[in-house]
Chain A
Amino acid sequence: MTGTAGSGTDRASFAASGRVFWLLPLALLGLPLVIGSYVQYIVNLTLVYVLVGVGFNVVLGNLGQLAFANAAFFGIGAYATGTLMYHLKAPFPLALCAGALAGGLAGALVALPALRGIRAFYLAIMTLAFGELMRWIYINADAVTLGSMGMQVPRPTLFGYVLVTDVDKYYVFLAVVTLLVAATANLLRSRVGRAFTAIRDNELAAASIGIPTARYMVLAFAWSGVVVGTAGALYAALVRHVSPEAFNLLELILHFGIVMVGGLASLAGSILGAAVLTAAPEMFRDLPGYEELLIAILMVAVLLLMPKGLASLLARASPLFRQRYFRD
């Protein structure tokens, strides 16, 4: 891909290669200069939910499995990170990696029933039960989790530097989220992503062309767990309070909403869905009592008008946003 800079074909190949997407995090570097401290907190929260949506969508949209353990992955990541920082005074980067790892292991664990041939509604109820079981553990393993009151997470530090303000956290979050979204995009635009959607579309046919379906199912769940577990780790660092109530069924419905409003199997959609559903409650905050109602109306309206979510708007704007499962 060499040639004279600025020529039309160069721009086209630059866009088609997907490198154009790096412009977004670059532009976001300047965001703290133009927003206030409260909005900064909401932006940080949005970054957390971008990972929540992107990770959930891998299992729900790409692998096509009705698995609802996402709030559990989120909680496991948050508790792993919070516990290490609270009890062991672990530095944040280490605790973050532990949160990602714990989420990934939980993902691989949840894939086990799917490997036994449990699908659809049966997988849905089993994974919902797993989420509630985790909440029971958070409440009852109080020597570690401090029970239903939750635990106060110490200030995150990065190589000895304490992340005090939300702007400090923002740059760390932006780096982590960009890295994981780019990695997920790489994964989806490869034989791995194709294997996921092949399994979703026709599992027997996938096996018949040499795809080890069981291995890729575990991989999809584990990667989903890594991404969502990392979201949990960032959440623990942002809110600095981890309690069982943060990972209940209502939270799961929010995760589900992000994926559906954004669009199944669309990476760009998950990002947009996270932004809309994190920002909307804040915009409606001036109308106390109507907050939930307005969010519900928003979700219904989007899905009625755009069954494929906000991603279909993006795809109409530019073919760049159409999820592709190869690169050329």
Chain B
Amino acid sequence: MTDPLIALSDVTVRFGGVTALSGVSLSLAPGEVVAVIGPNGAGKTSLFNAITGFVPLADGAIRLRGARIDGLMPHDISTRGVRRTFQNGGLFPEQTVLENVLSGLHAEVPGNPLAILFGLPGARRAERAAVARARALLDLMGIRHLERRPAGSLSGGQQRMVEIVRAIATDPPLLLLDEPAVGLAPPVREQLAAIVKLLAKERGIGVLLIEHAIELVMAVADRIVVLNYGEKIADAAPEVVRADKAVLEAYLGHA
């Protein structure tokens, strides 16, 4: 196999005296869906924050297609192709759906501030092209009819969908989804599973997925990584992890 899409080696994250992640290594190939599970406080969101540059590493390295990305600013990591969604929803509530998706295209809309200030034709053309691109994406996901709605006025399921569209607007190679199914009704969860599969298998996006909804994990994951107290205790195919004794103990609290 060539370079993995993303590779974490011995990643450690500390908050003061608390070790949130300790020596975690994992890798992901293009088009692969890896679920990250574990009890509350196991370090799942810390793992996402470390990859996306929101928290510094105490130790270890993160490589995207072989190049180090740890230590970069979050917006730099994002423009290199790592996109994420947020556990509590990361949309801009007062922007419309269209404006949210356009914001997602930010780094790919050319035009310097001076050209924009004077409304030069080049800057206007770039804007119009971005609007067309954003609308095509909304069409593709079947939510074009929502484009004028402020994102804050949408239902939970619609918001999740828009956030995913915004995240994949730039065709990133890697997508991190932080508990996308929380608060969604079962039919919407199935829709979500279909979308995750589509992104991975049709578009070749590598997906890291934090999720408690086990049926969603089983439906989409090629592999499951289990975290407990900041350490990786399992990394295997779903049916293997399901039978793993250490995993059962972590969840059920056996001695």
Q: Which A residues have a C-beta under 8 Å from some C-beta of B?
A: 182-183, 186-187, 189-192, 194-195, 197-198, 200-202, 204-213, 219, 265, 324-328
Contact = CB atoms under 8 A, between A and B. Distances in A.
A187 B113 contact: yes
B131 to A, nearest CB: 4
A207 to B, nearest CB: 4
A206 B127 CA distance: 19
Interface stretch (B5-13, B73-81, B179-187): B73-81
A205 B73 CA distance: 13
28 contacts: A183-B117, A186-B119, A189-B127, A190-B111, A190-B123, A191-B105, A191-B127, A192-B113, A192-B116, A195-B106, A197-B92, A198-B92, A200-B92, A201-B93, A202-B91, A202-B93, A205-B86, A205-B91, A208-B84, A209-B104, A209-B107, A210-B75, A210-B106, A210-B107, A211-B75, A325-B102, A328-B128, A328-B131
Contacts of A325: 95, 99, 102
A210 B90 contact: no
Residue picked from A194, A204, A265, most chain B C-beta under 10 Å: A194
Contacts of B102: 191, 194, 325-326
A88 B131 CA distance: 49
Contacts of A326: 98-99, 102, 127, 130-131
Grouping DSSP codes into helix (H, G, I), strand (E, B) and loop, the A interface class, with mixed when no group exceeds half, is helix
B90 A202 contact: yes
B94 interface: yes
A207 B92 contact: no
B113 A195 contact: no
Contacts of A327: 124, 127-128, 131
Contacts of B109: 191
Given A327-B127, A328-B128, A210 B79 contact: yes
Contacts of B54: 204, 207
A188 to B, nearest CB: 10
B118 A204 contact: no
A208 B116 contact: no
B44 interface: no
A210 B78 contact: yes
A194 B91 contact: no
Nearest to B94: A201
A190 B127 CA distance: 7
Given A191-B106, A202-B90, A186 B75 contact: no
B74 A207 contact: yes
A161 B131 CA distance: 47
B103 interface: yes
A242 B98 CA distance: 46
Contacts of B98: 326
Contacts of A191: 102-103, 105-106, 109, 111, 116, 127, 130
A62 B197 CA distance: 37
B170 interface: yes
Given A211-B103, A328-B131, A182 B119 contact: yes
A198 B90 CA distance: 10
Contacts of B106: 191, 194-195, 198, 209-211
